């Protein structure tokens, strides 16, 4: 397995501390000189890691104050990026993810145009041991190299991404589609049965992170949003 470049490891460690709450908004990030000493690397390496964090909106770099954890903007989205494992558990149901396929392709592909190495994974989300959704996901390994070593038997890819990689922009497309033979078999429904479909893309700054396509068994999942007349999507 290819080891991630040092600047990616520095970024990932600081990012993880921010997402876990160990570094709260307004907290000071060690200076470039301090990070150079800690990791034994050049200033350019540290600068590259901090620049990536700043581009993702996780830190703010100030000339005299140094680098601090950014205060996240309060935004309202009609549709967020849900964690199915958390949603199902919150309903009091037992959650299980069953991996189906996993492979790496080179040179990108239609769901993630312009990307290099792509990790494709598919699997089935279960609620109380009943299939809820069949999922196909493409992940940009150039943006998220550390996910290549992740074990999705313990945590589904969507949950892993939400815990490790913050997204700055998302696009949802909702529709209905007849289940193909393979999808129907995984969901234990009749071929051509109607499914709720969700396609979602997420980005970190200008970098594509993932594209996912989910087929939900009709009647087992619903999307709801509550908003007032003055609500705006920002």
Task: Give the model confidence (pLDDT) of 118-151 as tens digits.
Answer: 999 999 999 988 999 999 999 999 888 999 999 9
Strands 207-217 and 59-62 come out as: unpaired
pTM above 0.75, yes or no: no
Angle, CA of 217, 218 and 219, to the nearest 5°: 110
- Give the number of other CB atoms < 10 A from CB of residue 51: 14
Say what the pLDDT of residue 165 is.
84
The residue that leads in pLDDT, 19 or 187, is 187
Average pLDDT over residues 175-192: 94
Dihedral, CA atoms, 71, 72, 75, 81, nearest 10 degrees?
-170
pLDDT of 2 above 60: no
pLDDT exceeds 50 at position 1: no
Highest mean pLDDT among 17-31, 71-85, 191-205: 191-205
pLDDT on residue 230: 46
pLDDT for res 199: 93
Sheet-wide strand order for 194-204: 95-105, 118-127, 130-140, 207-217, 194-204, 169-178
**CA gap 47, 6 in Å, rounded:** 12
> What mean pLDDT, rounded, does the chain reach?
84
């Amino acid at each position: 397995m290819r080891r991630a470049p040092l600047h990616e490891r520095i970024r990932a460690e600081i990012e993880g501390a921010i997402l876990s709450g160990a570094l709260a908004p307004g907290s000071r990030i060690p200076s470039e000189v301090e990070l150079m000493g800690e990791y034994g690397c050049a200033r350019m390496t540290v600068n590259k890691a901090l620049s990536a964090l700043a581009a993702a909106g996780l830190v703010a770099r100030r000339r005299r104050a140094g680098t601090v954890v950014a205060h996240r903007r309060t935004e309202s989205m009609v549709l967020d990026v849900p964690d199915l494992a958390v949603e199902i558990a919150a309903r009091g149901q037992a959650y299980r993810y069953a991996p189906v396929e996993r492979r790496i392709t080179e040179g990108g592909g239609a769901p993630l145009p312009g990307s290099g190495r792509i990790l494709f994974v598919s699997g089935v989300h279960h609620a109380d041991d009943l299939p809820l959704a069949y999922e196909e996901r493409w992940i940009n390994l150039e943006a998220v190299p550390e996910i290549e070593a992740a074990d999705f038997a313990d945590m589904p890819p969507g949950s892993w991404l939400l815990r490790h990689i913050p997204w700055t922009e998302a696009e949802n497309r909702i529709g209905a589609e007849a289940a193909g033979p393979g999808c129907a078999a995984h969901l234990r429904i009749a071929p051509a049965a109607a499914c709720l479909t969700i396609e979602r893309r997420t980005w970190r700054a200008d970098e594509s992170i993932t594209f996912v396509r989910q087929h939900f068994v009709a009647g087992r999942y619903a999307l709801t949003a509550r908003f007032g007349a003055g609500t705006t999507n920002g």
